[in-house]
Structure formats: C-alpha cells, structure tokens
Amino acid sequence: MALLTDSEDDMKSSQQATRDLIAVVTELAEIVRDLDPGRTRQYALIEQLLERARGHLIAAESYERS
C-alpha cells in the first residue's frame, strides 16, 4: 500500500473540504427554496447568493482536479 505524500494528503483534504462545502451550500439553497412563503425578495436574494457560491465552489473543485 503506497503512502501519501504530504502534498497529496493536503490535496485530498482540500478536495474533500470543497465537496463538503458544495453539499452544505446546496442544502442551504434547498432550505431557502422550501421557505418560500411568497417568494419574498430576501429569500430570492439569499437563494441567488447561495447558487453563486455553489457555482464558484464547483469551479474550484474542477480546477483542483486538473
């Protein structure tokens, strides 16, 4: 069994952290969508910000893989 170098271990930890953040942001966006008591402007803004954050995290994850 090959041992991971520190840089490989750091990269795997960073990738896992990014995946975890994507999951959290995705779940928060779904919660905000479910609140929808009339689509108030605040909820819509929060949803947009969470979706933007999710997009940035997905882009970061793709960059880490390459």
In a domain, 63, yes or no: yes
Structure-token pair, residue 25: 């942001």
- Structurally, the chain folds into a number of domains equal to 1
Identify the domain containing residue 38 by its residue range: 28-66
- 51 domain-assigned: yes
Alpha carbons within 13 angstroms on the beta-carbon side of residue 62 total 6
**H or E element at residue 22:** helix 6-35
Q: DSSP states of 24-38 as a string?
A: HHHHHHHHHHHH-SS
pTM for the whole thing? Answer: 0.58
Chain centroid, CA 11 distance in Å: 17
Q: Is residue 53 part of a domain?
A: yes
Q: Can you tell me which residue has the tokens 């999951």?
A: 23
Specify if 47 maps to a domain. Answer: yes
The pLDDT tens digits for 23-60 are: 888 888 788 777 766 667 777 788 788 888 888 888 88
